[in-house]
Structure 1
Amino acid sequence: MKKLSIYIIVVQLLIACSAPPKEETKTTEQPSLDSLLHQYHEERLKLFPMDATMAGDNRYNDRLPNNITQEYRSQLKEFYTRYRDQLTASDRSKLSEEDQMSYDILLWECDIALEGLAFKDYLTPINQFWSWHLMAGQLASGSSMQPFKSVKDYDDWLKRLDVYAVWIDTAIVNMKKGIAQGYVIPKVLIKKVIPQLSDLDHGPVKDHLYYNPIKLLPADFSAEDKARLTKAYEEMIQTKIIPGHKKLNDFIKKEYLAAGRETSGISALPDGKEYYNYLIKQFTTTTKSADEIFALGKSEVERITKEMEAVKEQVGFKGDLKAFFAHIRTKKELMPFTKPEEVIAHFNAIHEKMKPNLAKLFDKTPKTPFEVKRTEAFREASASAEYNPGSQDGTRPGVFYVPIPNVKEYNTLSDEDLFLHEAIPGHHYQISLQQENTSLPAFRRILGYSSYAEGWALYTESLGKELGLYTDPYQYFGMLSAEMHRAIRLVVDAGMHTQGWTREQAIQYSLDHEAETEEGIIAEIERYMAIPGQALSYKIGQLKIRELRTKAEQELGDKFSIAQFHNQVLDSGCIPLKVLEDKINRWIESVKKG
């Protein structure tokens, strides 16, 4: 992520406002598992309508969260408790193998959600990386997941903006409570939020980001609808959006900044240690301890360093590894572009180059279309490359977004690796195949577990040579650099949040071990400060998938099929790592008996 994939962030962040769920009519007979899963999915979409929007289900496009209120959190607690109780009342042993997997996944969903509701993350609702003011802006641009094709689409977005305006007020109230109770984010992060809000807290209305949908009004709208919607959007921006962002920005500049903490890690919060342990479990779907992850990270950094040294020698560079990092950061041959469209064409060329080998590794490919786009200007300066999923029906393509804030300084070092991770066969294959798999229960077609999804994407980076890429040693070094980046995350994330590391220590450790620019490293470290634990998921997931592949290769020998292994990993959708491991072990045994 590079900024972490937007898909995983959105799935775990954006939860929406709805009326409290109606109580089901009580009967003496327990619903079947299929019925229970269907009910869960349908009721959950009302509570999490952004998940529906992302999947292309437009029934709830007029709903948006006020996800930081006690009322909403109480609804979630009732919802997850009720479904957990109904699920555990059934006899798992009598279910089919596939149904047992669904049982285990739903139980995990309920348990992890209920555990998370014990913490006070709602008191720190704003940061520079993962917050509603950023996602709302992306949706408001008119070129993201929120559709603007019909008159109803335009009216739906106005209704969401009504709730977003209230969310802003709630966020200010919660941050004031957070100051009083010792729940605040680091001062250095608060400073990064201010320019984001400053872009949105003033007019002219017709130049405002939120006015973009009006500039994109479909030609077939009636003159009456065009006039009505134009007036409604102007009024919304003038009376709610601009004043709301100004109020929020003024509060953050005049009050919140002064209250910001100087510490880097979440352990500084009242229940920070316990919360970080929870976040490890949530994001990695494992029971690993912070100390274990910290040690694993250091071990991986040492292993990858040795591989980097070998590439440095291969290209004939005479200095040490740190000097080589500096060399490739500024190597002119790695910065060949003068126009942003050349960067986009470069990624499309990578796709063409690998196509002949894709069929050897994958016999199932998604039907969902795919595009490479430049990141929108309003967030490009602070964004990283990311993937936004297409819709379940394939009418909205999956999009690989590439930020190009300064094309002349755009470095191609990791582009082959980046395309494998963010696009094909990384996030686009995994998410699209999951959404398209109608044999899965509906709730499993939209699930997102960071350790699985990011673990898969990082695993696919290692497939480059098998796909005909990494023929240039610098591109292979780019792959090693990306893997090193994820290994470093284990060290610095756990380091800051449990080992007493400062922001500056984490930055220096990264500078010492990877080729990222200092500016990029600072943004990454501050990301880990803003969303503790999420960055752990990549390497933990990748190592598990690689471990399972190695085990299958060793135990199956000539019976091993890489395409079939990939089918096994992908065809159950996004699942916790323990569930995946159990599935692969069963597959290995079945092939042996074959």
Structure 2
Amino acid sequence: MKKITILLIVLTAMMSCKPEPKKEEAPALNAEFEAVLNGYYEEGLKLNPINATMAGDHRYDDSFPNLLSDTYKAEKKAYYESYKGKLSDFPDAELTDSQQMSKAILEWECNINLAEFDYNADLTPVDQMWSQNLFIGQLASGASAQPFETVEDYQEWMQRVDEYLEWLASTEDKMREGIEKGHVLPKSLIVKVLPQLESQMEEDVEKHLFYQPIQNMPADFSEEEKTMLAEAYSNMITNKIVPEYAKLHNFMSTEYLDAGRESSGIQGEPNGDAYYAHQIKKYTTTNMTAEEIHELGLSEVARIRSEMEKIKEEVGFEGDLKAFFDYVRSNEELMPFTEPEQVIAHFNEIHERMKPQLEKLFDTKPKTPFVVRRTEAFREKSASAEYNPGSLDGTRPGVFYVPIPDASEYNIYSDESLFLHEAIPGHHYQISLMQENEELPKFRKTLWYSGYGEGWALYTESLGKELGLYTDPYQYFGMLGAEMHRAVRLVVDTGLHSKGWTREQAIQYSLDNEAESEASIISEIERYMANPGQALSYKIGQLKIQELRKKAEDMLGDKFDIGQFHNQVLEPGCVPLALLEDKINSWIEASK
């Protein structure tokens, strides 16, 4: 017995002295995988040269491929299939954590883009809100990403316009095919496109949008160069642009309008339910169903209405909530401006007021400059406020565009939440920090997932009080109104595209629950009709980020640091929401 006891003591001692097993070292950066990611990015720029221009890469400023051609579609499909196939060559164990995230993102990218080929979205290539003809107008103005600094820049733009006009000409063929196959725009959207086309049929060259770069030629151009370019642009407008737009206008105002759908939602098209399910996944980056989202929207609308009732009581308004909406919309005290410049100055003042508090919530801020601009006149009447990113190298600023058709009717009640969302710390922080992050491969610096990007921007609206804003009850009501606007979207988008709602039903539901003007609501409903599912992304993303913040606060207690949480959310750039959730959960565990 004594010998056994001694033996046990010796064995125990030996075990206690046994060295700790070595932790597996994290794999080094896989250079071969990085080359694949870089190849994906570089080939993607050739396929989508406009993306290169927007990123500040000017190698392809003269290019605009015909996105509707069979050749282009075959190249695009082969591109995604090729890179999806390459991913299987790289087991996760051979990749760093960041590379594993890149692999998961690239797989998502390939799958969601390949799924798009199962539908006929290219048979409705022109609409009033999202199509290429509207975006090209921004570039044509000379105030966007297309450079107009050298004679070569001006010549490259003319080459790009020639290729763009090939795309524009092919839209008629696609729409004719759409008529045959039952894929056409609703009539109510077609009539909104017509004045946009008419604006490019201006025969007075000097008044034409595409002539603006000539009106603003650099002073160091020689007189000979100025004369040469002015003549070339005049000929381009008179002999190419105006006739092509007139031809498309004639088709859309007659044959296409006659064939337009009476239905409002995508259910009115063949395979509409399946396409809408795809759009939900694409824009929310979740597997939620239309029914789940509709019910969530109804719940959120009810919750926000109760908060709005409190503000109505606080300001002493007697009457129901709908009457309060009308009061806020028409309150002349909330429309104090007479000139567009005053609106721009108002947003800059909001920025100055919140700057001291930004230091408390964000310890990482972008270097890319930022400006507020009025939306260009040619699209101002049908445009929403929006943010356009700066260039990757930070030389072109991020721009917050504000439509101001009539400054005297501009209502400021929601401007604080609008600035937080579209500008700082919303889209400008999120996109600029992503572009400036040297740890990210290039393809992730220009990615856009609406569920994350719009979710983040809507989440930042809820930070107003922490940033020293919303001291005026009307501005706080404006924030609630903006959140209600996104909650209503869950109801009306799914109503339109999965429940057979009419345009008029959706408009009425919005009027019953929002403080937006009727004109604004009509524009919004038609926006949802043109791009099913996009409007769902805001609230789905916001709720996920709020859920993750609450989880971190609950689990970390005194260790929770709001600046670090924001770093963690912003650090990976735009990602599908499931990948963001995995990242935050890992951070919470590591922070315990």
Shared fold by TM > 0.5? yes
Q: Which residue of structure 1 aligns with residue 561 of structure 2? A: 561
Between the aligned partners of 2:54 and 2:574, the Cα distance in structure 1 is: 16
Between the aligned partners of 1:457 and 1:31, the Cα distance in structure 2 is: 34
Equivalence map 1:166-565=2 (5 Å) = 166-565=166-565
Q: Which residue of structure 2 aligns with residue 47 of structure 1? A: 47
- Unmatched 5+ stretches in structure 1: 1-29
SS at match of 2:59: helix
Preserved contact between residue 281 and residue 288 of structure 1 (Cα < 8 Å): yes
How far 1:424 sits from its partner (Å)? 0.3
Q: How many residues align?
A: 563
Q: Which range is displaced more, 88-97 or 195-204?
A: 88-97
Between the aligned partners of 1:195 and 1:41, the Cα distance in structure 2 is: 37
Letter in 1 for 2:144: S
Equivalence map 1:21-170=2 (5 Å) = 32-170=32-170
The one-character-per-residue Cα deviations of 1:158-206 (angstroms, maximum 9, x if unpaired) are 1110111111110000001111111101000000011111111230122
Letter in 1 for 2:198: S
Preserved contact between residue 371 and residue 397 of structure 1 (Cα < 8 Å): yes
**TM-score, normalised via structure 2 length:** 0.94
How far 1:65 sits from its partner (Å)? 3.0
How far 1:221 sits from its partner (Å)? 1.6
Preserved contact between residue 201 and residue 249 of structure 1 (Cα < 8 Å): no
Q: Which residue of structure 1 aligns with residue 7 of structure 2? A: none
How far 1:377 sits from its partner (Å)? 1.2
Preserved contact between residue 276 and residue 533 of structure 1 (Cα < 8 Å): yes
Preserved contact between residue 484 and residue 514 of structure 1 (Cα < 8 Å): yes
The one-character-per-residue Cα deviations of 1:516-572 (angstroms, maximum 9, x if unpaired) are 011110110011001110000000000000100000000000110000000000011
Preserved contact between residue 202 and residue 246 of structure 1 (Cα < 8 Å): no
Q: Which residue of structure 2 aligns with residue 22 of structure 1? A: none
Between the aligned partners of 2:142 and 2:466, the Cα distance in structure 1 is: 39
SS at match of 2:129: coil
SS at match of 1:59: coil
Please report the RMSD computed on the Cα atoms of aligned residues, expressed in angstroms: 1.0
Between the aligned partners of 1:392 and 1:469, the Cα distance in structure 2 is: 31
Between the aligned partners of 1:134 and 1:64, the Cα distance in structure 2 is: 14
Between the aligned partners of 2:509 and 2:56, the Cα distance in structure 1 is: 42
Between the aligned partners of 1:337 and 1:227, the Cα distance in structure 2 is: 41
The one-character-per-residue Cα deviations of 1:276-299 (angstroms, maximum 9, x if unpaired) are 000001011111001111111001
The one-character-per-residue Cα deviations of 1:490-525 (angstroms, maximum 9, x if unpaired) are 000000000111111101100111100111101100
Between the aligned partners of 1:50 and 1:284, the Cα distance in structure 2 is: 24
Q: Which range is displaced more, 368-377 or 217-226?
A: 217-226
Between the aligned partners of 1:513 and 1:552, the Cα distance in structure 2 is: 33
How far 1:393 sits from its partner (Å)? 1.3
Q: Which residue of structure 1 aligns with residue 15 of structure 2? A: none
Between the aligned partners of 2:165 and 2:232, the Cα distance in structure 1 is: 15
How far 1:350 sits from its partner (Å)? 0.4
SS at match of 1:32: helix
Letter in 1 for 2:322: K
Q: Which range is displaced more, 372-381 or 456-465?
A: 372-381
**TM-score, normalised via structure 1 length:** 0.94
How far 1:118 sits from its partner (Å)? 1.6
Between the aligned partners of 1:316 and 1:524, the Cα distance in structure 2 is: 30
SS at match of 2:118: coil
How far 1:31 sits from its partner (Å)? 7.6
Q: Which residue of structure 2 aligns with residue 9 of structure 1? A: none
How far 1:58 sits from its partner (Å)? 0.8
Preserved contact between residue 391 and residue 397 of structure 1 (Cα < 8 Å): yes
SS at match of 1:355: helix
- Unmatched 5+ stretches in structure 2: 1-29
How far 1:227 sits from its partner (Å)? 2.3
SS at match of 2:180: helix
Larger Rg: 1 or 2?
Answer: 2
Between the aligned partners of 2:65 and 2:316, the Cα distance in structure 1 is: 55
How far 1:56 sits from its partner (Å)? 0.6
Preserved contact between residue 486 and residue 535 of structure 1 (Cα < 8 Å): yes
Between the aligned partners of 2:153 and 2:577, the Cα distance in structure 1 is: 38
Between the aligned partners of 1:240 and 1:415, the Cα distance in structure 2 is: 41
The one-character-per-residue Cα deviations of 1:209-230 (angstroms, maximum 9, x if unpaired) are 1111111111112333222222
Letter in 2 for 1:220: D
The one-character-per-residue Cα deviations of 1:106-150 (angstroms, maximum 9, x if unpaired) are 000111110112211111001111111111111111111111111
Between the aligned partners of 2:296 and 2:261, the Cα distance in structure 1 is: 29
Between the aligned partners of 2:538 and 2:66, the Cα distance in structure 1 is: 30
Q: Structure 1 567/31 Cα, relative in aligned 2: closer, same or farther at 3 Å?
A: closer
Letter in 2 for 1:257: L
Between the aligned partners of 1:71 and 1:290, the Cα distance in structure 2 is: 34
Letter in 1 for 2:120: K
SS at match of 1:60: coil
How far 1:66 sits from its partner (Å)? 1.2
Between the aligned partners of 1:272 and 1:585, the Cα distance in structure 2 is: 36
Between the aligned partners of 1:185 and 1:570, the Cα distance in structure 2 is: 37
SS at match of 2:373: strand
Between the aligned partners of 1:516 and 1:299, the Cα distance in structure 2 is: 20
Letter in 2 for 1:509: Y
Letter in 2 for 1:189: L
SS at match of 1:433: helix
Letter in 1 for 2:331: K
